[in-house]
Amino acid sequence: MTVDGKVTEARFFLGKLTKTGPINEDSVHYLSAFLSASRSIMNQLLRDYARKYGLGFGEDEALDSRGFRARAQDKGDPTSLGFIDAYDRSIETLEKNEYYRVLALRRNINVKHGFHALVHNLNIMTQEAIDESESLRVRVEKDPPITIGPNAFHPVGPEPVAGSPRDFSFEDFPGEPVPHVCEVYLNAILDQIAKLHDGY
């Protein structure tokens, strides 16, 4: 797969996540898939450029920035060395981005412990009708926790403002819907990729 393929995959799952209701149990699966696809975009970019510069990494061979740099130095190729310097700066820029830091961590938790541990960090809000009218009031369950899937328990956050839309959010970004946070995160990655493509 190429970096374009990874980006397409991430956008696909973001689209699914955006269209799926926040209390639909499929939402956690789409979130998990999105985090995995988007988190691997920069790694795939590194592999694409290793191939472009003929650094000789096999498809199954581990590749990181240090390995790329070592091969580029052995080859004595100033262009590939310039790229890896720029790549490392891009990673540093991303790591200063709060959205990137939080979602990269969520993805790592997900890989190690599964999506149940991942979504344990979400705040889930529900709506209920008032006197069978069309008015809605947001009600947060605090005790016991609510569930949106088998064996997936979700703590909830602070009491939201009455009348706010039904949604779910990362506890790190209260009030920001998960799809919005994911989109900001993905755009931060795509901005860095565009800069690297412009320079190399």
Q: What is the pLDDT along the chain (200 residues), one digit of tens a residue?
A: 789 999 999 999 999 988 887 667 788 788 888 988 998 999 999 999 999 999 999 888 999 999 999 999 999 999 999 999 999 999 999 999 999 988 887 755 444 334 443 444 444 333 333 344 433 333 333 333 333 334 433 333 333 344 434 456 677 787 788 888 899 999 999 999 999 999 99
SS3 137: strand
The amino acid present at 188, given as its one-letter code, is A
Cβ partners under 8 Å of residue 95, min gap 6: 101, 104
Number of domains in the chain: 1
Distance CA 184, CA 200 (A): 24
**Structure pTM?**
0.71
**Which residues span the domain enclosing 132?**
3-199
Residue 61, sorted as left (phi over 0), alpha (psi -120 to 50) or beta, turns out to be beta
